[in-house]
Chain A
Amino acid sequence: MSNSVNISVETTCENQIREIGYDGTELYQPPPTLSESLAKCAARIDFSKTSLDDLKREEKSAAAAAGDEDNKDATQFQESLWPWDAVRNKLKDALTEICVLSDVISIAKDKRYLVLDPLLEEGDDTKPIVQVYSRKKAISQAAQVLLGGAERLRNAHSEQRSRNVSDFHIELLRLRQNWRLKKVSNAIIGDLSYRTAGSKFGMSGTFEVTKAEEALDDDTVSTSSSSSTASGNNGMQLKASSALRVIVPAELQGVAYIKVITQKDQEDLCTAQVNLMGHGPNITAQVGVWQKTLEFAQNVLFCKELFAQLAREAIQLQAPIPHVVIGNQIRATLLPNIQLIISLCHSTTFDSSLPAPINDHDHVLEHSLHQLLREVHYKNSHHPFPHPASAPLGPTKKRMLAGPMAADRETLLDMTKTQTILEQIIAQAQHIFMRKRTQYVLDTLARDVKDPQIVSHWNAMNSPTMSCVKINIVTHGYDAIGRTSLVIHVKERSLKCICRDGRVMRLSYEPQELRDLILCQINSHQISCLISLARCMAWTVLSNSNHLGIGKVEPLGNASSCLLASPNSDRMIAVQIRCDPQIDVKVYIARSPRQDFFPSPLVPEKLWENLGGNFKEVRFDKIEGKSFLNKMEFLMASLTSNSA
């Protein structure tokens, strides 16, 4: 009791909020003053219970609680114990317990009725060294794991650098960069067909990709290292050790190409090969063997599609001389005695040596066939513009415009005519042949005929089925006097010649017709240049004719002629040019007055001698002069007399 502890109990100093202002300030109720609290407590006095017993009871309870001294307020105002009742009870309980505790401790200290025993604790019997060992073991195990991982990484890294047999996945990545692959359950299937480019060919071009069976043992490592040091170009043998293998279908294995030959009576005129190889960048050096395999297989597929298309068209088309399809060869007739042979050559033995180069390899036909099939593919996948929202997709722009432009029936019919690949290639081959023939005729004529020079200018730009050539016939030295020009349009089976004077002539494919035409043009060139020359020399042109109609009947038209008179009219020159196989020139001169006039009883006057004498032939080949015009110039010069 003397060691009493002072406990202070106080209320929280919170006052009730009387009012909250509009700006948030709170107005507290002021704490009740002493007189107010007194008044409050006094109001609580229950005068009906004010008996001594109650007062004593309350005193006792107040005294019992005096050990842990209360607030003075609690003892002064007994009535106010009621609000503090809970506090009082709790304090009372606390006191009880502490009393009990002090009793127990005092009894235990006495050691007569209660003894305090300490609890047995486990001693710390592990020595620090054992700890160290255990930690060391744990750490070494962790180190093992880490070292093992690092070792693996280092091995893989060094392997990567040292070995030249690539990893399967790297190869697969490269394969995937070039070809379309997809994974179907367990296998990897690829597609090398042209289906995404618009081809509708039935043969499937799927190939399978597998891991290469051969393991990386010492032999292959050594051979690969030796081959890498050798860096030889031994074809397929170099990259034999690839990590993956492609399996192409049996019908696409090997090498194929399409051969186009133009044959004239068993004699090869020109050949062409269609082959996809040799196009595109050469990437086989970097990637493995599979690239070449796949490229060859794709080539085989392309050639097969092209040949199948051509064969189908050959059977369907109605040509005057029917096309013949035998096995892997298609024969078509271009012109009489000229045949076009298209054959598919497919060799399954994997021979890396190229076939022997054939003379007159025609790259044009080869490229054309390739382009034509690609055009078919393109048309299959691309619809021509415009793409209207309210009309069907597919017709060409011309057909779309045919309605609003009121196209008539013939125009519409023309729009529906299309040419198949075979027709197009035949047209191109025919044109190539016609062009070669025309060139040959013109060149031989230019070589053989020296007097007027035949100059031919071929157009640099032409279409696959039409070329143009402009021919100028000039005499050397007399270019300013006159020149004969004509334009020849070389088409597939015919020629069209347009002369300077507007005449249009259509010739067939016979070379003789062109030769005849040029000879006739030379003929008229000589005469027209002679007329111009005569004018320069002051000679009068009495008459000229392009088609005399005299002499024997010739296959090549008739003679053309010209009659000239000298400035003094005392000499006349008559020129006649024929062109049966060679150009044949005859020149005659006459003089006036005639030398052999003798007056006779019928014609007595002397003046009749001025009528002019007979024409006498000149030995034209003996006259000095380089060309016909040159000789004529000299002749005219010599016959011009300078009498006043």
Chain B
Amino acid sequence: MGVTVLQPYPLPEGKSGAHIIDQLGKRLLALGATHSGQFLVDCETFISTPQPHNGAPGRAVHVLHNSEYPASTFSIIDNGTGKQVSLVADNIFDLLMLKMTNTFTSKKQTKIESRGARFEYGDFVIKLGSVTMMEHFKGILIEIEYKSCVILAYCWEMIREVLQGFLGIGVAKEFPSYFATQTIMTAMGQQQLHAKHNDIYEPMDTVKQYLEQFTNYRKHVALHGGMVSGGGQGGPTVGQPGVHIPPSSMVGMGRP
């Protein structure tokens, strides 16, 4: 259980997701990684049925499972204003949610999952996941875990190097958006800068990253559904933090 970073992989035009995954898998095997099974991360969202009257969005409960922690169910409550409460529970939690159908309804159409092959590469565990929502392919999400370290700040450079090495795209130097410095309110009521990349990593952080990515993929649906034609370049940059897509001639270097 080490530091895990999620990296969405931008789909180049004209290639299908399965082809890309196949290609990346072959690269990893050529590097010397061993294929060790499949993985699955899925997310189901429940919205609170009585909509509040003041127009604020109802509370959403996200229930996620991660095959890396098969005995646990993760759950995050989102009350619309950005505050999140997270929970790690036994698998019986799913049965509990079934009983809560009066208060929470499940929006089946937003059930989203990331599924694919799992590779072990020395101290790293690399998962190539294809994200699907209701059988529609949404994108490719790469998860890389460095098992020996529990603080991102100590190993971010190494993870970035490995990612760049086998993905072939550039990865930004800054920490991923999930780990960026945030302002939080302390118990005294003061605002304080909190650097998440110095915290000890927990399995809940993996799940929260997945939720962030899944939310972005869901917003893509909304965005793409809203957008009529063309101009798709500027659009979906929201959901891909930390990915810098340079022109092919320069990788990590300045302009010629």
Contacts and interface: CB of A to CB of B under 8 A. Distances in A.
7 contacts: A391-B90, A403-B71, A403-B73, A404-B89, A406-B204, A408-B69, A409-B70
Interface string B172-214: 0000000000000000000000000000001110000000000
A388 to B, nearest CB: 9
Contacts of B203: 406, 408
Nearest to A410: B1
Contacts of B16: none
B70 to A, nearest CB: 6
Contact of A403 (B1, B68, B90, B204): B90
A405 interface: yes
Interface residues of A, number: 13
A400 B92 CA distance: 11
> Which of B72, B74, B89 neighbours the largest number of chain A CB atoms within 10 Å of its CB?
B72
B91 interface: yes
Contacts of B89: 403-404
Interface string A393-430: 00000011011111111001000000000000000000
Contact of B72 (A390, A391, A399, A404): A404
Given A404-B88, A406-B69, 20 more contacts: A391-B90, A391-B92, A399-B71, A400-B90, A403-B71, A403-B72, A403-B89, A403-B90, A404-B72, A404-B89, A405-B72, A406-B72, A406-B74, A407-B69, A407-B71, A408-B1, A408-B68, A408-B69, A409-B69, A412-B70
Contacts of B70: 409, 412
A406 B202 contact: yes
A477 B91 CA distance: 67
Given A406-B202, A406-B203, A406-B204, A412 B92 contact: no
A393 to B, nearest CB: 14
Interface in A481-534: none
A403 B202 contact: no
Nearest to A411: B1
B92 A402 contact: no
Contacts of B72: 402-407
Q: What are the 3 A-B residue pairs with the smallest beta carbon separation, nearest first? A: A403-B90, A406-B203, A402-B71
A409 B145 CA distance: 14
Contacts of A404: 72, 88-90
A391 to B, nearest CB: 6
> Which of B68, B90, B92 neighbours the largest number of chain A CB atoms within 10 Å of its CB?
B90
Contacts of B73: 403
Interface residues of B, number: 16
Q: Is chain A's interface secondary structure helix, strand, loop, or mixed overall?
A: loop
Contacts of A403: 71-73, 88-92
A402 B92 CA distance: 13
Nearest to B206: A406
A404 B74 CA distance: 9
A405 B68 CA distance: 13
Interface string B80-104: 0000000011111000000000000
> Which of A399, A400, A406 neighbours the largest number of chain B CB atoms within 10 Å of its CB?
A406
Nearest to B74: A406
Nearest to B91: A403
Contact of A409 (B68, B88, B91, B92): B68
A408 B88 CA distance: 13
A12 B252 CA distance: 138
A203 B51 CA distance: 66
A399 B90 CA distance: 10
> Which of B69, B70, B92 neighbours the largest number of chain A CB atoms within 10 Å of its CB?
B69
A189 B115 CA distance: 64
A423 to B, nearest CB: 26
Contacts of B71: 399, 402-403, 407, 412
Nearest to A400: B90
Contacts of A399: 71
Interface in B130-182: none
A555 B69 CA distance: 50
A406 B90 contact: no
A466 B39 CA distance: 38
> Which of B69, B71, B203 neighbours the largest number of chain A CB atoms within 10 Å of its CB?
B71
A407 B68 CA distance: 9
Contacts of B92: 390-391, 403
Interface in B21-72: 68-72
Contacts of A400: 90
A400 B91 CA distance: 11
Contacts of A402: 71-72
A402 B68 CA distance: 12
Contacts of B74: 406
Contacts of A406: 1, 69, 72, 74, 88, 202-204
A208 B70 CA distance: 54
A402 B70 CA distance: 9
A491 to B, nearest CB: 25
A408 B204 CA distance: 12
Interface in B1-30: 1
A399 B202 CA distance: 19
A488 B202 CA distance: 36
A400 B1 CA distance: 19
B249 to A, nearest CB: 42
A272 B208 CA distance: 58
A399 B74 CA distance: 17
A409 B71 CA distance: 9
A620 B33 CA distance: 60
A337 B68 CA distance: 44
Interface in A361-400: 390-391, 399-400
B215 to A, nearest CB: 21
A412 B68 CA distance: 10
